[in-house]
Amino acid sequence: MTTPPEGALPQARVVALHCFPVKSMGGIAATRLDVAADGVVGDREWAVYDAAGKLASGKHTRRFRRMDPVFDLVARPEGEEDVVLTLPDGTEHVAGRPGTDDALSAHFGEPVRLGREDRVPHQDAAAVSLVGTATLAELGRHEGDGRVLDPRHLRANIVLETDEPYAEDSWAGRELTVGGVRLRVTEPTQRCRMVGVAQVGLEPRDGMLRVVSDQHDLLAGVYAEVLTPGLVALGDAVTLP
């Protein structure tokens, strides 16, 4: 392994990037992400709203409502403006176009609509989420057949290669430079049943929530706020300025 640049965290480099254009739906893997002041461009830009204005999610809160049909759907950006949804039958619909809400309502079995983020934040707690590979491996080895936990179960935007489980917890309150982006890590991420729910392309991890609880007090990965916007790409190093 090459020697990391001065200030770099040993073995901390970007190994995976994800964007989820619609909250709680499947998203896309990316080779780079454009990070603005309010988070990854296009990430959770849309959400499914029920008739009461709550967002489809895997849990119940003041903002969110557990609506598991959302896990059967995938969203991807197309061109500069559009977001395309794929339903279980393979049909595709563009967010904001006529007929899309009707198709979603039929899938959910109740009236729903797609909406862009406005007054109700779509993010759970912060603009960007990160997790280390050692954390994913440590959680995975305690559940099922020991497979590494897929970061999509954690909805992580940025996955970093690390050599110590939960190393990212120690970054809370610190500033990190990841590629061309400067972040301040705000807090560890508290997890819910999403960590084990079956999703498009992901098998269920039925015991994973219990593992996260027993092994690390329901915490896995960290949230961060954006200090300096820019680009993050696969292979970028992580440094502590």
Distance of CA 53 to the CA centre of its chain: 22
* Residue 1 forms part of a structural domain: no
- The better pLDDT of the pair 240, 54 is held by 54
Side-by-side strand order, sheet with 46-50: 64-66, 55-57, 46-50, 112-116
The confidence score (pLDDT) of residue 8 equals 47
With cut-offs at 50, 70 and 90, classify the pLDDT of residue 11. low
67 and 165 in a single domain? The answer is no
138 and 34 in a single domain? The answer is yes
* Residue 3 forms part of a structural domain: no
Q: Check whether 238 has a pLDDT greater than 60.
A: yes
Residues 165-183: pLDDT tens digits? Answer: 999 999 999 999 999 999 9
97 and 184 in a single domain? The answer is no
Task: State how far the Cα of 10 lies from the Cα of 28, in Å rounded to an integer.
Answer: 28
Which of 90, 116, 142 is where one domain is finished?
116
The confidence score (pLDDT) of residue 172 equals 94
98 and 141 in a single domain? The answer is no
The confidence score (pLDDT) of residue 177 equals 95
Nearest one of 194, 128, 123 to 160, comparing CA atoms: 128
CATH code of residue 150: 2.40.33.20
Which of 66, 85, 116 is where one domain is finished?
116
225 and 157 in a single domain? The answer is yes
Of the chain, the percentage scoring pLDDT greater than 70 comes to: 95
Enter the DSSP assignment of 135. Answer: H
With cut-offs at 50, 70 and 90, classify the pLDDT of residue 3. very low
Q: Check whether 7 has a pLDDT greater than 70.
A: no
30 and 136 in a single domain? The answer is yes
Q: Check whether 69 has a pLDDT greater than 60.
A: yes
* Residue 145 forms part of a structural domain: yes
With cut-offs at 50, 70 and 90, classify the pLDDT of residue 60. confident
235 and 131 in a single domain? The answer is yes
pTM: 0.92
Structural domain including 128 reads: 8-38+124-239
The confidence score (pLDDT) of residue 4 equals 42
Task: State how far the Cα of 171 lies from the Cα of 221, in Å rounded to an integer.
Answer: 10
First-to-last alpha carbon distance for the chain, in angstroms, is 22
Mean pLDDT for 210-214 is 97
* Residue 130 forms part of a structural domain: yes
Q: Check whether 9 has a pLDDT greater than 80.
A: no
The pair of structure tokens assigned to 16 is 């995976």
107 and 67 in a single domain? The answer is yes
